[in-house]
Structure 1
C-alpha cells in the first residue's frame, strides 16, 4: 500500500494517479462499519480494473475545529490505522492534514481539489459522512458537486445482529469508558488493543508477589476505566496471558497526587522485559479498583483475580 501525506494546498495534478475507487472517512477504530465502506471501495476497484484508495484525515477534525481543547484519545492512532487499512487490501492511503485552511474549503472545492484531481472514478462513504466548510457537504448532495465525474456509493448503517444500535466510533468510545471491552470486541470485529513500552515503575507488585510490567503508552489511546482486566500481552511475537490493573494504586497512593498507571501481570512469566515494545489485548473486566485498609487484604484479592484469569483461559 502506498501511503501519501497530503498538505493543503496540494500540488497534485490530474493524471498523477490511476483511476481510483476512494473510501472517505476519519475511520477511528476501523470498526465493522468502516470495514464495510473500505471493502466496498476495494471491490468496486477490482470489478473495474482500477486501484483502491482510502482518504482519511489527521489530526481529528474536532481538535482543529475547537471542539476539543486538548488532543483527543483515540481507538486507533494513525500508525494502527495504517496497518489495519493495509490489511484490508487497499492500494493507496491519502492522509490529508486537517488544518484550519483545509476546513474552510467549500464542499465544491473539496470535491474538485481532493476527489476529481486525485483520480476518483467512484467514491464510497457512510450515509452520515460530511465534508466541506461547516460540514455542509453530505452524501445527499455529493452527486451535484460531482457533476458526473465519478460514481457514488453510500453505505447504510451497520448494526450488530439482534440490535438496532449503529456500529460507530461514538458507541465504541462509550463502551470503552464503561469498561465493556467484550462489547468493544464485537463492534470492532477484533480485540481492542493498545501499544506501549515497558518502563520502570515502583516495583511494588514484585514486593507483593505479583511482578508487573508498567506500560507507557506509545500513543494517546483510550483506556477503559480504573479496574482489573483479563488481558493478553504480546512480547516479541508471543502472546502471554495475564491481568491488567488500570488506576492509581489507592491502597498506597492518593489519587489526586499521582498519575494513572497501566500495569500488566503475566501468568507463569519471569523474563525481564524493560524497554520492550508490547501490545495489550483487552478481554474481560473483572472488577473496579479498590482501596484496601491492609496490604494482606490486597494480596488476597490479587490471588482471587489471578484465579479468575486462570479459569477464564482454561475455559476459552
Structure 2
C-alpha cells in the first residue's frame, strides 16, 4: 500500500475506486466498506483509494476540547488498512481552510480533479464539506456531472448494537477490552518504546516494562490489570513503523515490525500506582517467562481481557500477594482460550 501525507503528492488515477472517512479503529463497519471497495476495484480493473484525515476534524473544529482520543495512531491505522488490501492511502492534513471547502468544491477539486474518482463507496451516515452539509445525496446529485458512480453501505450491526468508533472508545475507557475487540475484529493494542521506571516491581518479584506512548491523542484504556500478549523483535535494537514518511509503502500486516516478532504472554497495569502514592499514570507490563533487558525496544501490547480495577493496598507485601493472584488469573484466562 502506498501512503501519501499530502494530496499534492498523489498522481491522479485513470480509474480510482474511492472511499472517505476518518476510519478510527478500522472496526467491523469500516471493514465492510473496505471489503466492498476492493471488490468494486477488482471488478472494474481499478485501484482502491482511501482518503482520510489527520488531525481528526473535531480536533480542528473544536480545539478547546482535548477529550477526544483516537483508537489508532496514524501508523497503526495504516498497518491495518494495508492488511485489508487498500492500494493507496491519502492522509490529508485537516485544516481550517480544508474545513471551509463547500461540498461541491470538495467533490470537484479533490475527488474528481485530484484523485480521478470513477466509483465512490461511502457509509450511510458520511458527511463532508463546510458545516458537514455534504452527504451521500450530494454525491449522487453530482455523479452525472462528473462521471462517477456512488454506492451506499448501510448500517452495520453486531448483536443488534450499531458499531461505532464512539462506542469502542467508551468500552475501552471502561476497561471492557473484550467488547471493544469484538467490535474491532482484532485486539486493541498499544505500541511504543520501553523506558526506565523506578524498578519497584523487581523488588517484589514482578518486574515490569514501562511503555511510553508518544502520541498524546492515542486512547489509553481505563485503569486496571489486563491479560495481554506482547510482541517484540528480539533480533534488532529498535523498530519504527513504515507509515510515517511521504509516498511510502506498507506491507499487508497488522504488525508494525519489519520481521516476524516474538510473542509473549503477560499482565499489564495502567494507573497511578496508588499503593506507592504515584503521581503519574503508568503503562506497565509484566512479561511472563522473560528476563531480558529491553530498554529502548519497541513493543506492541495487545489487550485481551480485563482482570480487575486498580486499588490501593496497605503496602508492598499486600500488593505482591494480589499480583500473584493476578498472574494466576491471567494464566487461567490463557488456558481457557
Q: TM-score, normalised by structure 2?
A: 0.88
Q: For 2:67 and 2:75, locate their aligned partners in 1 and report how far apart those are by CA, in whole Å.
A: 16
**Corresponding residue SS for 2:276:** coil
* Residues in 2 aligned to 1:35 and 1:11: alpha-carbon distance in whole angstroms: 26
How many aligned residue pairs are there? 307
The question of whether the paired residues in 2 share the 8 Å contact of 1:56 and 1:96 is answered with yes
Q: Offset at 1:67?
A: 5.4
Once the two structures are TM-superposed, the CA of residue 55 in structure 1 deviates from its matched residue by 0.6
User: Which residue of structure 2 lines up, in the alignment, with residue 261 of structure 1?
Assistant: 282
Residues 106 and 11 of structure 1, relative CA distance in 2, 3 Å threshold: farther
SS in 1 for 2:181: helix
Once the two structures are superposed, residues 162-203 of structure 1 have per-residue CA deviations (whole angstroms, 9 ceiling, x without a partner) of x22111101100110111000111111111111011110010
Are the equivalent residues in 2 in contact too, given 1:62–1:68 (CA < 8 A)?
no
Structure 1 consecutive aligned stretches of length 4 or more whose deviation exceeds 3 Å:
67-72
Instruction: Provide the rounded CA distance (Å) in 1 between the counterparts of 2:14 and 2:172.
Output: 40
Checking the alignment, whether the CA contact within 8 Å between 1:111 and 1:146 is kept in structure 2 is no
1:86 is aligned to 2:82: yes
Matched, 1:247 2:275: no
1:36 counterpart SS class: helix
Equivalent positions of 1:191-210 (< 5 A) are: 191-210=187-206
Counterpart among 45, 48, 51 of residue 49 in structure 1: 45
Q: What TM-score does the superposition give when structure 1 sets the normalisation length?
A: 0.93
Question: Partner of 1:177 in structure 2?
Answer: 173
Q: What corresponds to 1:152 in structure 2? A: 150
Partners of 1:198 and 1:278 within 8 A in 2:
yes
Do 1:195 and 1:218's aligned partners in 2 also have CA atoms closer than 8 Å? no
Alignment of 1:1-316 (within 5 A): 1-6=1-6, 10=8, 16-66=12-62, 68-70=64-66, 72-117=68-113, 118-148=115-145, 149-160=147-158, 163-220=159-216, 221-236=218-233, 237-254=261-278, 258-316=279-337
Q: In the superposition, relative to structure 1, how do residues 4 and 11 fare at CA in structure 2: closer, same or farther (>3 Å)?
A: closer
Residues 59-81 of structure 1 deviation map (CA, whole Å, 9 limit, x = unaligned):
10001101554384211111111
2:232, 2:262 within 8 Å by CA — same for their partners in 1?
Answer: yes
Q: Is the 8 A contact 1:107 1:131 kept in 2?
A: yes
Q: Structure 1's 2 and 131: CA in aligned 2 closer, same or farther, altered over 3 A?
A: same
Deviations 1:12-42 (A, max 9, x none): 7xx8322111011110001111111112111
**Stretches of structure 2 lacking an aligned partner (at least 5 in a row):** 234-260
Distance 2:64 2:213 in 1: 21
Say if 1:195 and 1:219, in contact at 8 Å, map to a contact too: no
User: Secondary structure of 2:274's partner?
Assistant: coil
Q: CA deviation at 1:11?
A: 8.6
RMSD, matched Cα: 1.6
